[in-house]
């Protein structure tokens, strides 16, 4: 499926990699709907995309809420005149050790139910909600035509200290991507996910230089990835008709 002329939905599209995916798809001639919860960010991306070859429209949506996502897919398809692909990108962090003992007081602190559930709701259930709504729309309206579900996992899926919730959610994305490939192929839907390493986003760019140096030191390429390098993975999955059910590691060779 060629990017030019296709129609996409991107979740978490008002900042970071999601913003780059949204605008780059439009630069390459796709019409793009995106969602976020940051209304100011939504309007900023719409304005930035106004003069691009592809159409850019934005919606407010909580991906953890299935009814909201069902409405989002319907509204996006109506605004664009159809949908060919979705990028499940929305995600949050609520890092913390499973159990931590204070060295001075001996007091114990654990990862809270709230921190666990918030990450699972957005990072895993949100991907499920997006894929399900998109697949349902496609089967009802375009079965037999080519469609693509791309989901953003993470290098942390292998297990990263302080990220029990995040690692579990990102590992789940890889599993769902694999099984959806088998379930949805009959309807013309391919699936793929991308596991980025450390990528240059506003969160990382805000780190102190000495902290950023520690982050990049273990990376064989000795630098952060760029959002465009992750987008190239999205483009590869979209355009390679023999790719489905797999995860692309784009991490500079880093091993956790």
Write down the domain spans for the chain. 7-249
Give the mean pLDDT of 110-120. 97
**Cα 199 off chain centre by:** 13
pLDDT of residue 212: 85
Could you tell me which residues are beta bridge partners of residue 195? 249
Give the mean pLDDT of 103-131. 97
CATH number of the 7-249 domain = 3.40.50.720
pLDDT of residue 202: 81
Check pLDDT > 80 for residue 144.
no
Check pLDDT > 90 for residue 132.
yes
* 156: Cβ contacts below 8 Å, ≥ 6 apart: 163, 166, 167, 170, 256
Q: Tell me the pLDDT tens digit for each residue of 162-197.
A: 999 999 999 999 999 999 999 999 999 999 999 999
36/38 Cα distance (integer angstroms): 6
* % pLDDT > 90, the chain: 92
Q: Mean of the per-residue pLDDT values for the chain?
A: 96
For residue 208, give both structure tokens. 């102190």
pLDDT of residue 40: 97
Q: Does residue 77 contact residue 83 with C-beta atoms inside 8 Å?
A: yes
Weakest-pLDDT range from 43-52, 132-141, 194-203 = 194-203
Band the pLDDT of 215: cuts 50, 70, 90.
confident
Specify the pairing of strand 99-101 against strand 108-110: antiparallel
Q: What is the DSSP letter of 109?
A: E
pLDDT of residue 116: 98
pLDDT of residue 143: 72
pLDDT of residue 205: 79
Give the mean pLDDT of 242-254. 97
Could you tell me which residues are beta bridge partners of residue 34? 10, 58
11/86 Cα distance (integer angstroms): 8
Give the mean pLDDT of 146-160. 96
Q: Tell me the pLDDT tens digit for each residue of 43-63.
A: 999 999 999 999 999 999 999
Among residues 137, 166, 187, 242, the one annotated as catalytic is: 166
**Could you tell me how many helices (H) and strands (E) the chain has, helices first?**
9, 9
Active site (annotated) includes residue 166:
yes
Check pLDDT > 90 for residue 203.
no
pLDDT of residue 53: 98
């Amino acid at each position: 499926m060629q990017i030019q002329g296709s129609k996409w939905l991107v979740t978490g599209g008002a900042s970071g990699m999601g913003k780059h995916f949204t605008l780059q798809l439009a630069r390459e001639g796709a019409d793009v709907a995106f969602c976020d919860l940051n209304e100011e960010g939504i309007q900023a991306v719409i304005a930035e995309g106004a003069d691009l070859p592809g159409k850019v429209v934005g919606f407010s949506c909580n991906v953890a809420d299935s009814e909201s996502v069902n409405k989002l897919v319907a509204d996006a398809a109506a605004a664009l005149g159809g949908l060919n692909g979705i990028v499940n990108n929305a995600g949050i962090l609520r890092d913390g050790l499973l159990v931590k003992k204070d060295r001075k007081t001996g007091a114990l602190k654990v990862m809270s139910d709230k921190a666990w559930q918030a990450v699972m709701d957005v990072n895993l259930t949100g991907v499920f909600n997006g894929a399900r709504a998109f697949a349902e729309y496609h089967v009802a309206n375009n079965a037999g035509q080519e469609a693509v579900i791309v989901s953003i996992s993470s290098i942390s899926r292998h297990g990263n200290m302080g990220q029990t919730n995040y690692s579990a959610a990102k590992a789940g994305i890889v599993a769902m991507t694999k099984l959806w490939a088998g379930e949805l192929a009959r309807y013309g839907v391919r699936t793929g996910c991308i596991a980025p390493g450390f990528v240059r986003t506003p969160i990382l760019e805000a780190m102190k230089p000495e902290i950023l140096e520690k982050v990049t030191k273990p990376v064989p390429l000795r630098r952060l990835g760029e959002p465009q390098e992750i987008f190239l993975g999205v483009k590869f999955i979209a355009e390679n008709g023999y790719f489905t059910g797999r995860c692309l590691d784009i991490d500079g060779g880093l091993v956790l």
